[in-house]
A and B are shown apart, each in its own frame.
Chain A
Amino acid sequence: KQEVTQIPAALSVPEGENLVLNCSFTDSAIYNLQWFRQDPGKGLTSLLLIQSSQREQTSGRLNASLDKSSGRSTLYIAASQPGDSATYLCAVGNDYKLSFGAGTTVTVRA
């Protein structure tokens, strides 16, 4: 069974600092890895999808890397803003099945 771990569970940074969120998984036989953002009381918004054959994916200030052999992915958010405050979830995909981490709750202080 795929186990997904996200460290740290919570993170507080001043505005402008770069954010580094970590995700590790136990089974490297994956199809893809997806990063989501969840605001309090809201649904999940897909941020980035990395296919198993890719090493990284970028969208604006967001960059996600994938090292399948070591079972790790990192989400980088450059020049953080208060609007980046949310919970970030990592989900590892094997065919149709997504296994989710517990998330990292980020607070960006103005």
Chain B
Amino acid sequence: DAGVIQSPRHEVTEMGQEVTLRCKPISGHNSLFWYRQTMMRGLELLIYFNNNVPIDDSGMPEDRFSAKMPNASFSTLKIQPSEPRDSAVYFCASSFNPGGNEQFFGPGTRLTVL
């Protein structure tokens, strides 16, 4: 298996632009997570999907952030409009029935908003 796939790996954009991050989970996993990692706050859970349904989006920082999972093999995290404080590494992770099971992380997308 190729593991969790994320694209792009790096994104540089200007303040106010829309940013879309993409994730393909491991085949057969029914749970998907979006995390954000910064020096100041470490790793934070943004949103959790189970069977393509958003279960917990309490970590989504503002209405500027939105996430979708149209099918079991694809998810997007969108930021519109982007701001410099959104600069961070965004990770996608997947798991099979995560209560008690491992989460497997993708390589991350490093976002820089100028």
Binding site for B on A (CB under 8 A): 31-32, 34, 36, 41-46, 49, 51, 89, 91, 93, 95-98, 100-103
Smallest CB separation, B92 vs chain A (Å):
9
B107–A42 CB distance below 8 A: yes
* Interface range, B side: 20 to 34
Given contacts A43-B91, A96-B31, A102 and B56 within 8 Å (CB-CB): no
- Nearest opposing residue in chain B for A102, CB measure: B42
B104 located at the interface, meaning its Cβ lies under 8 Å from any Cβ of chain A in the complex = yes
Which residues of B (24-81) have their CB < 8 Å from a CB of A? Answer: 31, 33, 42-43, 45, 48, 50, 55-56
- Nearest opposing residue in chain A for B31, CB measure: A96
List the count of A-B residue pairs having beta carbons below 8 Å apart: 53
- Nearest opposing residue in chain B for A36, CB measure: B105
User: A49 to B102, alpha carbons, bound, how many Å?
Assistant: 7
On chain A, the residues within 8 Å of B84 by CB distance are none
Given contacts A34-B102, A96-B99, A100-B43, A43 and B108 within 8 Å (CB-CB): yes
The 6 A-B pairs with the shortest beta carbon distances in the complex, nearest first, are A44-B105, A100-B43, A96-B98, A43-B107, A43-B105, A95-B99
Smallest CB separation, B97 vs chain A (Å):
9
A31–B99 CB distance below 8 A: yes
A98–B91 CB distance below 8 A: no
On chain B, the residues within 8 Å of A89 by CB distance are 43
Partner of B50, one of A34, A96, A97, A100: A96
On chain A, the residues within 8 Å of B50 by CB distance are 96
Q: List 21 A-B contacts (CB under 8 A).
A: A31-B99, A34-B102, A34-B103, A36-B105, A41-B110, A42-B108, A43-B105, A44-B91, A44-B105, A46-B102, A49-B102, A93-B98, A93-B99, A96-B31, A96-B33, A96-B55, A96-B56, A97-B48, A100-B42, A100-B43, A103-B42
**Given A31-B99, A96-B98; 5 other pairs, CB 8 A cutoff:** A34-B103, A93-B99, A95-B98, A97-B56, A100-B43
